[in-house]
Amino acid sequence: MVIVLKPNAPGQKIEELVYEIENKGLTVERVVGSDYTILGLVGDTSSIDIDRIRINDIVHNVMRIQEPFKRVNRFFHPESSLVNVEGVELGGNRIGVIAGPCSVESERQIIEIATRVKAAGACFLRGGAFKPRSSPYSFQGLGYEGLEMLRLAKRETGLPIVSEILSESMVDRFARDVDIIQVGARNMQNFMLLKELGKIRKPILLKRGLSATIEEWLMSAEYIMSEGNQNIILCERGIRTFERYTRNTLDISAVPAVKRMSHLPVVVDPSHATGMGWMVPPMARAAVAGGADGIMVEVHNDPANALSDGSQSITPGEFSDLMISLGIIAGAIGRSI
């Protein structure tokens, strides 16, 4: 349930209303906007007399939220959330671009790629230190050594780091060394991990599961937010359908749908969605036109010899060209890169 208060409602009367509601066993979370203050009621609201609340002279409106996700719901938080990562905001006018290799392979490799994607305009450096692969015999990443290489690349370029976490045991280390902690598609419903990530305040990039509905995706974000972490970025990375031409099916329609349902920023990963490097630029451009708040692109200096997912990577030169076209599209819809 959401209670919208009238502008300039007296503080004492707000406190009296909050006290009354909390006495019924509910949690009240406040969102202070430019025009209205909103009280979000979390818990069993069946004991709340809506008509009694409505006649309160500081109440503008009362609405029940039918969806099971509450905190991530745009009814609860009408203004779009901004996630600030070392001075760069995701969710505002500027479209954030995350770029880098699928896997960190060497110090020289990651620093070279980081330098080139920054020169082209990337805001963040992605790189996999731990790689959850479908086959146990595939390259699994360099582990914590890879994280150290990412930190070196950050020192060289200043780009904040995005990297994927695999388990609860890694939370403390990732909270220390990674600027945006990525939860991969396979872990979207690892609820114990999501709860632990909710207890820290680092930004979390939550990828949509392989076959997850939008509601299931948002419910996973709710797990994180229910523990107190408000810094969540959603990532559409394609879903599994009957179509086998592409690696997955990129659901561009999920971007405007989620932005209508939720206040959280949405990023699109065309690399994992398509699985083919030549498809990445057109799908990235489509995502920006569709309202995405960011793009995550795999960039490798030698895709043919990459240790993982080379076929879906683009070269630094191709990435530079892509950034020029993204800037044109962003400008056409009143945004910037």
Residues 116 and 7 in one domain: no
Tens-place pLDDT, residues 179-204: 999 999 999 999 999 999 999 999 99
Same domain for 233 and 199, yes or no, is: yes
| Predicted local confidence at residue 138, as pLDDT | 77
- Domain at 36, CATH number: 3.30.70.1140
Both 54 and 89 in one domain: the answer is no
pLDDT of residue 136: 78
Structural domain boundaries, residue 205: 83-332
Same domain, 88 and 214: yes
- Is the pLDDT at 34 greater than 80? The verdict is no
43 and 92 share one domain: no
Picking from 29-33, 58-62, 87-91, 173-177, which range would have the lowest pLDDT averaged per residue?
29-33
Q: Same domain for 29 and 161?
A: no
Q: Domain for residue 183, yes or no? A: yes
Q: What Å distances lie between residue 183 and 50, 128, 300, CA to CA?
A: 38, 12, 22
Residue 76 within any structural domain of the chain: no
Q: For residue 303, which amino acid is it? A: P
Q: What is the pLDDT of residue 5?
A: 94
Same domain flag for 231 and 281: yes
Q: Give 293's contacts (C-beta < 8 A, 6+ positions apart).
A: 90, 91, 92, 95, 96, 233, 265, 266, 267
Confidence of residue 65 (pLDDT cuts 50, 70, 90): confident
The reply to whether 196 and 256 lie within a common domain is yes
Tell me: do 196 and 48 sit in the same domain.
Answer: no
Q: Does one domain contain both 238 and 274?
A: yes
Average pLDDT over residues 303-322: 95
CATH number at residue 98: 3.20.20.70
**DSSP-based helix, strand, coil % in the chain, nearest 5:** 40, 20, 40
- Residue 136 to residue 36: CA distance in whole angstroms: 53
Task: Clarify whether residues 116 and 14 are in a common domain.
Answer: no
Pair (264, 203) in one structural domain: yes
Confidence category of residue 12, pLDDT binned at 50, 70, 90: very high
* 173, 202 contact by CB (below 8 A): no
Q: Is the pLDDT assigned to residue 33 strictly greater than 90?
A: no
**Number of domains the chain is built from:** 2
